Amino acid sequence: MKTICRFERWRRVDILLVAAAFLLLAPVLSVQRTTDFMIFCIFVLAYDLLYGHMGRLSFGHMLYLGLGAYAAALCAEHLNDNPFFALFAGTLGGALAGVILGPIVVRTTGACFALINLAFNQVGYFLVVAAFAEWTSGENGMSASFAPIGGFDLGNRYLMFGVTLISLLVVVLLMRRLTDSPFGLLLRTIKENERRSIFLGYNTYLYKWLAFTISTAVAGFAGALSSLNYAFVTPSFIDPARSVEVVFAALIGGAGSVYGALVGGVAFMAISNYLPNFVQRWEMFLGVVLLLLVFKFREGIWGYLLRLQTARLGEKSR
């Protein structure tokens, strides 16, 4: 009973703690760098809905981040330079990709699911770099300028930090509500035994499609935020080779947990941004981390901390 009460108290203050953690990071890392960290955490949250909760590994999730980034930039250039309209366009771009590609992608499982996303990512990369280079400027990338609304200019890094922090907290609340709902329970059931879910009468195809679309929409939103943050979009935003980054982040933090996604996102960004200053071949360190995760800490950093806390509470209750 005491454990349940502590859990409920934690759930009431967790958003405040998440906000406080990133506010404390800002003076340590810089406001601009912390904004990058938060955007990447939103991307990891989007990915973890598929991988952590539904059990579908994707090697092409950069496609949806890139679509959101380019949709926001193209919207600002050709339609409306309102930054919030661009955010909507980026989210819509990711969602439309989920709606269109979902019927094909969610029919597959295992390696097929991972590789078909990679294939679509490669197609998207080709379209950006070559086929639509007239609009995207190809490998040179394109600038994205957004008009200030009154005195609200997202070119100001402090305002951008505030908007990104609020966006992250909203996404955390959304993902927590989704994963704690019957919808989230069904996704975990699909992960464990999809045949049993079908036997119980659930249309798992529809639920998988919906989860996939939500994931791509949130990834597109993260891409649109990146476009606003950098005021520039390059093909690296949609590069299939970078899809492994979000996979590593989900594994490091602990797949299947909203807070694990946050921990993993911050940990991966810290490693990739700061370790190269000290170790030239820093990617080797990621390989060592992956081996440790596979053989020792399969539940990730957050899962390991939860296990330690559960063990401590168990000892106190005896």
Domain hosting 131: range is 31-317
Residue 24 in any domain: the answer is no
Domain assignment of residue 51, yes or no? yes
Q: How many Å separate Cα 70 from the centre of its chain?
A: 17
Three-state DSSP at 86 gives: helix
- Going from the C-alpha of 101 to that of each of 107, 110, 257, the distances in angstroms are 10, 17, 26
- Whole-number pLDDT of residue 316: 58
CA distances 199 to 4, 39, 202, 302, Å, are 33, 39, 7, 33
User: What stretches in the chain show pLDDT beneath 50?
Assistant: 1-5, 7-8
pLDDT of residue 145: 82
- Assign residue 180 a region: left if phi > 0, alpha if psi is -120 to 50, beta otherwise? alpha
- Asked if residue 100 is part of any domain, the answer here is yes
Point out which residues pair with 142 in neighbouring strands: 233
pLDDT of residue 110: 84
Residue 299's Cβ-count burial label (10 Å; 0-12, 13-18, 19+) is middle
In a domain, 248, yes or no: yes
Residue type, 161: F
Collect all residues with Cβ–Cβ distance below 8 Å to 208 and sequence separation of at least 6: 54, 56, 102, 106, 190
| CATH for 95 | 1.10.3470
Question: Residue 271 is encoded by which pair of tokens?
Answer: 């490693």
Q: Is the pTM of this model over 0.75?
A: yes
H or E segment to which residue 232 belongs: strand 232-233
CB-based contact 42:214 (threshold 8 Å): no
Q: How far is CA 111 from CA 122, 211, 241, 250, in A?
A: 16, 19, 17, 18
The whole-number pLDDT of residue 41 equals 95
In a domain, 11, yes or no: no
Is 17 domain-assigned? no
Q: Let me know if residue 87 belongs to a domain.
A: yes
What pLDDT is attached to residue 9?
Answer: 53
Condensed to tens digits (0 to 9), the pLDDT of residues 60-80 reads 999 999 999 999 999 988 888
Q: Judge whether 55 lies within some domain.
A: yes
Tell me: the pLDDT tens digits for 174-189? Answer: 999 998 899 989 999 9
Number of domains, the chain: 1
Task: Please report, to the nearest 10 degrees, the dihedral formed by the alpha carbons of residues 145, 150, 154, 156 taken in order.
Answer: 110
Q: Burial level of 121, CB count in 10 A (0-12/13-18/19+)?
A: buried
Neighbours of 199 (CB within 10 A): 9
Q: Maximum distance among all alpha carbons in the chain?
A: 69
